[in-house]
């Protein structure tokens, strides 16, 4: 029995190794938005959406060039848009891979990527990134940031005012629901924006992308956050 398991694992590994990654188009999620700050905004991470499962999981990656230190860090993530949990996160750092970047960096880890997508039933598809509002089944949906909380006195940045908490809301037909409440990843976040969404090809569910603008190396930069929303349930 042990030998059968080893043989199966060998053939699975060989099968994965023989596949080639098909790279989805890079997306700038901030392309429909504009910064309201007076600072130089740099550091637009590139985003790729790899596919969805038929039960609400979505695979995406974020590619970021590192100011100061140099190099590139890519996170390949599988996100459960139903419960809001990250179920897989693969960090690929060019600094640890002889400065290999972009597609070549992905290819070093392609077996791990294929395996994660297979386990989570991700079906690769090219899916367009869109701006709000959503028009779906003759219903219009809007998204906005609400309940922004601030705190003061952090190191003199942004006139001593930074965001400490905020919520992402979807509204339709005078009904609404809060799909996520976030504490910013960076303590020096001053502004937050709704960027747009991807629509699942399997169900009436969307992945909403928001951006947090925070102080960076020489100006401000963005960190993206992700929320799942079913368009048919939970509104009041």
Residue 12 lies in a domain: no
Q: Tokens 């190099």 — which residue?
A: 71
Listed residue (112, 114, 65) closest to 93, CA to CA: 65
Report how far residue 57's alpha carbon sits from residue 69's, in angstroms, rounded to the nearest whole number: 33
Residue 2 lies in a domain: no
Could you give the number of structural domains in the chain? Answer: 1
Residue 16 lies in a domain: no
Residue 17 lies in a domain: no
Burial class (CB in 10 A: 0-12, 13-18, 19+), 69: exposed
Residue 82 structural domain: 23-230
Residue 11 lies in a domain: no
Write out the chain's pLDDT in tens, 236 residues: 444 444 444 444 444 556 889 999 999 999 999 999 888 888 789 999 999 999 999 999 999 998 778 899 999 999 999 999 999 999 999 999 999 999 999 999 999 999 999 999 999 988 999 999 999 989 999 999 999 999 986 666 667 889 999 999 999 999 999 999 999 999 999 999 999 999 999 999 999 999 999 988 778 999 999 999 999 999 99
Residues 6+ apart with CB under 8 A from 58: 49, 51, 52, 78, 79, 81, 122, 198, 200, 207, 228
What does the pLDDT look like over 120-162, one tens digit per residue? 999 998 899 999 999 998 999 999 999 999 998 666 666 788 9
Q: Tokens 């596949």 — which residue?
A: 19
Residue 218 lies in a domain: yes
Residue 175 lies in a domain: yes
Residue 9 lies in a domain: no
> For the whole model, what pTM was predicted?
0.89
């Amino acid at each position: 029995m042990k030998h059968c398991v080893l043989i199966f694992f060998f053939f699975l590994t060989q099968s994965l190794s023989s596949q080639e990654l098909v790279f989805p188009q890079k997306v700038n999620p901030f392309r429909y938005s504009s910064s309201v700050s007076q600072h130089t905004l740099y550091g637009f991470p590139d985003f790729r959406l790899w596919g969805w499962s038929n039960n609400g999981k979505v695979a995406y990656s974020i590619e970021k060039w590192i100011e100061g230190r140099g190099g590139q860090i890519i996170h390949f993530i599988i996100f459960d848009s139903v419960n809001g949990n990250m179920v897989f996160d693969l960090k690929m750092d060019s600094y640890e891979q002889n400065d290999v970047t972009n597609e070549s960096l992905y290819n070093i880890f392609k077996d791990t990527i294929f395996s994660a997508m297979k386990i989570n039933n991700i079906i690769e598809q090219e899916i367009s990134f869109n701006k709000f509002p959503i028009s779906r089944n003759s219903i219009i949906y809007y998204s906005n940031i609400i309940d922004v909380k601030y705190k003061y006195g952090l190191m003199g940045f942004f006139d001593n005012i930074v965001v400490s908490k905020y919520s992402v809301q979807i509204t339709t037909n005078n009904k609404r629901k809060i799909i996520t409440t976030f504490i910013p990843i960076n303590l020096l976040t001053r502004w937050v924006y709704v960027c747009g969404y991807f629509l699942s090809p399997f169900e009436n569910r969307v992945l909403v992308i928001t951006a947090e603008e925070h102080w960076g190396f020489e100006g401000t930069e963005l960190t993206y956050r992700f929320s799942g929303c079913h368009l048919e349930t939970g509104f009041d």
